[in-house]
Structure 1
Amino acid sequence: MNPDNDPNPSNSDWENFVFPRDVFEFSLGKTELEEIFHRFAISSLPEVKPDSSLKKKIISSILNQQNEGEDFLFIRKSDSRWRKSAFSGVEYKILNRDQSRNTVTLMIRMEAGAVFPGHAHETAEDCLLIEGDLNIAGTVLKAGDFHRANPGSVHKKFSTSSGAEFLIVSGESDFAESEKYFS
């Protein structure tokens, strides 16, 4: 068959022309034959050497990406462990201490029925409930709810019925005061 003479060759004629049956096994599937064809086509291309300025640009881009990573902190869930606090059913993990802003970011997890004692706030404390419920100052928070304790405020004890996991961003001085509970 000559594909130049036939304007509409059938697929089977085309496949037989590209993959002659006397050369290729019938046991190969269409996908495998296409893979062979593509590898052959790629290997028959002439080698192309990129311009030296392109090589420098690519290497510079890679190095810049590596440097960007130094500006960020990533903590995978599997990379950190929960620690027991001084309170029954309350665990925590410190995610970050930022000395330049004087803040501490931590996760707190409370089992169902756990109670966290009252405490005062010299600085503001932000709390984002991730899962469960949290009863603070007579208000029940649900997953996704946010609470802020302003500087000078006092939390009475707070509790959870079903358990809770929440993110806290607090002043370093407040955390240092309560560090006896989180050591």
Structure 2
Amino acid sequence: MNGMSDEGFYDLAPLAALGCLNETDQEALADYATTDADFAQELAALQEVVNALPYTLPQIAPPSGLRERLQARIAQEMTVVRAEQMIWEPHPVVAGLTIAYLHRDEQRRLVSALVRCPPHTAYPSHRHRGFEQIYILEGTLQAGDRLCGVGDFIHANGGSIHAPSTIEGCLFLVHTSMDDEYIDGDLEPFAPAV
């Protein structure tokens, strides 16, 4: 920009007001504005026009429910369930089995919970609506032809069918669909209470 004519600075003023110049050129125009009061006034007037441009656009209403969805998402960014806050509930189908719900996602129909099975518990055969993931914390769990123990991880794909059982009892963390279906027609699909 060295050696630029006065006219050249005036030609670049609209680009400067829009913020389209690189930092060096923007500084050169700012320096020139300190030496030419008319140019400084022109640059300020252009900047006012640029600042007013957003106010000339038509107002667009945000989508219905956006505020509520945003607030719900912010509120759910992190949830901590303390051990003393866990409520162990009896399973509605399997006698003796208890569940402590950690998280329910109604929109995606997923649940995370701790499940405690007493010795000699058999869970009814069921089809997974979505995936199921189990992490064994205590005891053993028979999953198909595999005996799984502490630290073992089990993943069952959606559509798969199994009927896990335990001889010695167990405690596990499960992440699964709320809409799994029991194969025995007499049993109601299990959807945890909210």
Same fold (TM over 0.5): yes
C-alpha distance in 1 between matches for 2:113 and 2:76? 21
Does the alignment pair 1:71 with 2:83? no
Instruction: Name the TM-score, length of structure 2 as normaliser.
Output: 0.53
Give the one of 132, 140, 159 matched to 1:133: 140
Give the one of 165, 170, 173 matched to 1:164: 170
The answer to which of 118-127 and 91-100 deviates more is 91-100
Give the one of 111, 114, 133 matched to 1:104: 111
C-alpha distance in 2 between matches for 1:71 and 1:153? 31
Q: Once the 2 structures are TM-superposed, how far is the Cα of residue 94 of structure 1 from its aligned partner?
A: 1.2
Q: Once the 2 structures are TM-superposed, how far is the Cα of residue 162 of structure 1 from its aligned partner?
A: 1.4
Aligned to 2:7: none
C-alpha distance in 2 between matches for 1:69 and 1:144? 32
C-alpha distance in 1 between matches for 2:129 and 2:76? 32
Task: Tell me the SS of whatever aligns to 1:177.
Answer: coil
Kindly provide the CA deviation profile for residues 121-170 of structure 1, in whole angstroms up to 9, marking residues without a partner as x.
12111111111100010210001100011011011x22112110011111
C-alpha distance in 1 between matches for 2:95 and 2:178? 24
Gap regions ≥5 residues in structure 2: 1-73, 182-187
Give the one of 148, 151, 165 matched to 1:144: 151
C-alpha distance in 2 between matches for 1:177 and 1:171? 11
Aligned to 2:89: 83
Task: Tell me the SS of whatever aligns to 1:104.
Answer: strand
Instruction: Name the TM-score, length of structure 1 as normaliser.
Output: 0.56
Runs of 4 or more, structure 1, over 4 Å off, are: none
Does the alignment pair 1:119 with 2:115? no
Higher RCO (C-alpha 8 Å, min separation 6): 1
Does the alignment pair 1:177 with 2:189? yes
Task: Tell me the SS of whatever aligns to 2:119.
Answer: coil
Give the % identical residues: 27
Aligned residues: 113
Distance 1:75 1:171, change over 3 A: same
Task: Tell me the SS of whatever aligns to 2:179.
Answer: helix
Aligned to 1:59: none
Cα pair 2:87 2:101 within 8 Å, conserved: no
C-alpha distance in 2 between matches for 1:115 and 1:147? 17
Distance 1:70 1:108, change over 3 A: closer
C-alpha distance in 1 between matches for 2:76 and 2:143? 38
